[in-house]
Amino acid sequence: MKGWQSGCLSRARRLWVFRGETAGGWAACRRALSSCNHYGQPPQIVQIPFLKRCKNQLKYHIFVSFVQARNTMLLTERHYSMSQTTVDPKEMKKFQLLAHKWWDEHGDYAALHSMNDIRVPFIRDTVLNMRNDHQPGSPLSGVKILDVGCGGGLLTEPLGRLGASVTGIDPLEDSIRTAELHKSFDPVLAERIQYKSCTLEDIVEEASDTFDVIVASEVVEHVADVEMFIRCCSKVLKPEGSLFITTINKSQLSYIFGIVVAERVLGIVPTGTHDWEKFIPPEELERLLESNGFLVKTVKGMLYNPLFGSWSWTESTNINYALHAVKSDIQEQVDPNLETDKEQLQTKTMASEPPAKTL
């Protein structure tokens, strides 16, 4: 029996011992508690007739409160475990505590602020190399970008200032409020950026084949299901659209420098921010992308220097790395001369065949 049931039953048993209730009453309570553990049923107050007969009604209400509390927890677990979602509740709790610190350039997110020095040019230059036209001063004008897991908007705002139309989404409402507040200080961004407190899967249907670019920077190591995350990216991205990912490799060096040094020794990021088991090697990420209709174009190593608080590109992907992939155009282009070529080929084949023998 699960721990929560044992706890409720032990409390209920003490009530019965104190009241001197019969074994039949205890069995009824046990059956009632067992009926609560059905994920497919909504929470309901368990009606136990013999408890109602208790002179001390407070004991009845205390017991029912245990049942109601557990039913609420079951619904929460059901939401995250039985429904398909990319959100990890444990990760939500971590970032909830830091939601108001996004724009402190010398605080917990200092490394992400300095990462803009290399990730923003990486995104900008790659997109420009795939486009034939751009406006001076607003090089990303006309480009629709989705910033998944945008947090307080650290990457969303620089992309908006480059002229892009950016939608930032994050499941944490507090982070979105922080992003909205910071955006309000720049009137230009009000027209280019919109924020939504939602998950990626929440917008799949309404935003199918909508975005030219998707950015998921320091996100995939925190999601509950990486493959589902990639599938959702593929659905909302236009054919031949670009997906940019920065994340952490799963290696011995990433454990030493990404967790032990960064979190426990230097305190670059809060302790417990990362879970090494959720890090993903570039080879595995490439495999997931290619199996979901992406063609990986670039994989580059990233290195953080804690002494200068700066990032640089490196050939090694043993710790951090950035990836650019393009969604393949699933709509095959039909060559108008294809049918003519097929007919000519069939004619030549028939002409070269020897005549059939007649009896």
The closest alpha carbon to 233, from 296, 326, 152, belongs to 326
Where is pLDDT greater, at 182 or 350? 182
Report residue 190 as tokens: 């009000």
Where is pLDDT greater, at 335 or 106? 106
Question: With b meaning 16 or more CB within 10 Å and e meaning fewer, what string describes 280-317?
Answer: bbbeebbebbeebbbebeebbbbbbeeeeeebeeeeeb
Q: What is the pLDDT of residue 331?
A: 46
| CA pair distance 11, 284, nearest whole angstrom | 49
Q: How many degrees, rounded to 5, is the angle at CA 292 between CA 163 and CA 128?
A: 25
Among the listed ranges 3-17, 133-147, 229-243, 299-313, which one has the minimum average pLDDT value? Answer: 3-17
Report residue 231 as tokens: 């599938």
35 appears as a binding residue in the annotation: no
Where is pLDDT greater, at 7 or 145? 145
CB 246 within 8 A of CB 119: yes
**pLDDT tens by residue, 29-52:** 444 444 444 433 444 444 444 444
Q: Which residues contact 103 (CB under 8 A, 6 or more apart)?
A: 109, 152, 154, 178, 182
Q: Which residues contact 330 (CB under 8 A, 6 or more apart)?
A: 239, 293
Among the listed ranges 2-11, 184-193, 215-224, 343-352, which one has the minimum average pLDDT value? Answer: 2-11
119 appears as a binding residue in the annotation: yes
Give yes or no for residue 244 having a pLDDT over 50.
yes
Give yes or no for residue 54 having a pLDDT over 50.
no
Q: What is the pLDDT of residue 255?
A: 94
The stretch 344-351 carries a mean pLDDT of 51
Q: What is the pLDDT of residue 92?
A: 79
Helices (H), the chain: 3-19, 23-35, 49-52, 57-81, 89-96, 110-129, 156-161, 173-183, 187-192, 226-236, 252-255, 282-290, 338-352
**Domains in the chain, please, with CATH?**
3-81 (no CATH), 89-327 (3.40.50.150)
Please count the residues of the chain: 359
105 appears as a binding residue in the annotation: no
> Which pTM value belongs to this model?
0.69
The stretch 101-108 carries a mean pLDDT of 94
Where is pLDDT greater, at 323 or 71? 323
272 appears as a binding residue in the annotation: no
222 appears as a binding residue in the annotation: yes
The closest alpha carbon to 195, from 154, 250, 226, belongs to 154
81 appears as a binding residue in the annotation: no
221 appears as a binding residue in the annotation: yes
Q: What is the pLDDT of residue 57?
A: 53
Q: What is the pLDDT of residue 86?
A: 83
**pLDDT tens by residue, 300-340:** 999 999 999 999 999 999 999 999 999 998 644 434 444 44
Could you tell me the maximum CA-CA distance found in the chain, to the nearest angstrom?
Answer: 108
Average pLDDT over the chain, rounded to an integer: 79
The stretch 181-194 carries a mean pLDDT of 95
Q: Which residues contact 51 (CB under 8 A, 6 or more apart)?
A: 29, 59, 60, 63
Secondary structure class of 251 (helix, strand, coil): coil
Q: What is the pLDDT of residue 293?
A: 96
Give yes or no for residue 125 having a pLDDT over 70.
yes
Q: What is the pLDDT of residue 90?
A: 79
